[in-house]
Amino acid sequence: MRFRAKIVDLACLNHFSRVINTISKLAKTCILRLTVSKLYFILSDKVANGGVSMWCELCQGNFFDEFQMEGVAAEHNEIYLELVPENLSRALKTAQSAKAVKMKLTNKHCPCLRVAVELPSLSSSSRIVTHDIPVGVIPRRLWNDFREPSVPDFDVSIYLPVLKTMKSVVERMKNLSNSIVIEANLSGEMNLKIETDLVSVTTHFKDLGNPPWASEDGCQSSDQGRDLESMAEARIDIKKLQQLLAGQQVNPTKALCNIVSKRIVHFILLHEDVSLQYFIPALA
């Protein structure tokens, strides 16, 4: 099992740092899955996470200038590591003006992801700052726990409103209530609602648009007969939603959510070279 990678381009480095920052805000611990062409940051829906799950996918070619990986075995050419993304985020903070960042999987005393940041210096020899981030190697028999989640059989799919507005509203609502109801219909309308003994607040978004989903087996097209006005809704933990929105440092090119009434809300945030899926289950 080997892994070696290098980023030299400063823009790619900053972009990668931003992605890691976002991930570190969403998960204390997560799985990093490495394949020949992609990196995945995965959080599976354990009770410890409050049932949320995350699937973030990056094409390594868009970030790394060099990328070499050898998996556990020839027919399973992948590596699964458990790590604390905040550690990686902190290591990359020192790389804001770096000449290069090298990453390597090592196993001196215990498995680590070694991040070596080469900093510019006035003398001819560079300064190198090295961070050893402890990782856990996930054995092959457990890989099935971390499969890509399938898109749920949703009742409504809708584009999210401008994230800045949604973030402000959710932040204020978080002061007033622990849970929030997201409801939306196929006419591009979404409402965010909180209700307590003291106060009830509803924010109405209109003209959001509903994404067209190409149905493979025609099951989604059955909603053509559905009432366009009727709302699908789910009550979710407001902190989880606020964390998701607060972690977005750059506006995504596409942002949408799929609501399975009273079950789960599936958020999809797409950037040019990163896709992030986040599942927040409905509260009992």
Partner 1 sequence: QAAASGEPYVLAASLDNARHLSSLLRAVHLQDHATCFATANGLRVTVDHAKCIQANAFIQAEIFQEFAVQEESVTFRINLSVLLDCLTIFGTSSLPGTSTALRMCYRGYGYPLMLFLEEGGVVTVCKINTQEPDELLDFDFCSTKVVNKIILQSEGLREAFAELDMTSEVLQITMSPDKPYFRLSTFGNAGSAHLDYPRDSDLMEAFHCNQTQTNRYKISLLKPSTKALALSCKVSIRTDAQGFLSLQYMIRNEDGQICFVEYYCCPDEDVNEAEL
Per CB under 8 A, residues contacting partner 1 are 161-162, 164-165, 168-169, 171-173, 175-176, 197-207
Smallest distance, partner 1 to C-beta of residue 199, A? 5
Task: Provide, rounded to whole angstroms, the least separation between the CB of residue 22 and partner 1.
Answer: 21
Contact call for residues 148 and 55 (beta carbons, < 8 A): yes
Residue closer to partner 1, measured from CB, 125 or 175: 175
Residue 119 or 201 with smaller CB distance to partner 1 = 201
Q: Which is nearer to partner 1, 79 or 190 (CB)?
A: 190
With CA atoms as reference, report the closest residue to 228 among 277, 189, 258, 263: 189
Nearer to partner 1, 191 or 220 (CB): 191
Q: Which is nearer to partner 1, 173 or 186 (CB)?
A: 173
CB of 95 to partner 1, least distance (A): 30
Distance in Å, CB of 207 to partner 1, minimum: 8
**CB contact at 8 A, 264 and 37:** no
- Whole-number minimum distance, CB 30 to partner 1, in Å? 30
- Identify the sign of the CA torsion 211, 214, 220, 226: positive
Pairing of strands 264-270, 274-281: antiparallel
Least Cβ distance, residue 246 to partner 1 (angstroms): 13
Closest CA to 251 of 167, 146, 136: 167
Phi, psi of 17 (to 5 degrees): -60, -40
Which pairs from 26-31 meet CB under 8 Å and 24+ separation?
A: 26/54, 26/243, 26/244, 26/247, 26/278, 27/54, 27/85, 28/84, 28/86, 29/82, 29/83, 29/84, 29/85, 30/54, 30/82, 30/83, 30/85, 31/80, 31/81, 31/82, 31/138, 31/146
Closest CB to partner 1 among 169 and 264?
169
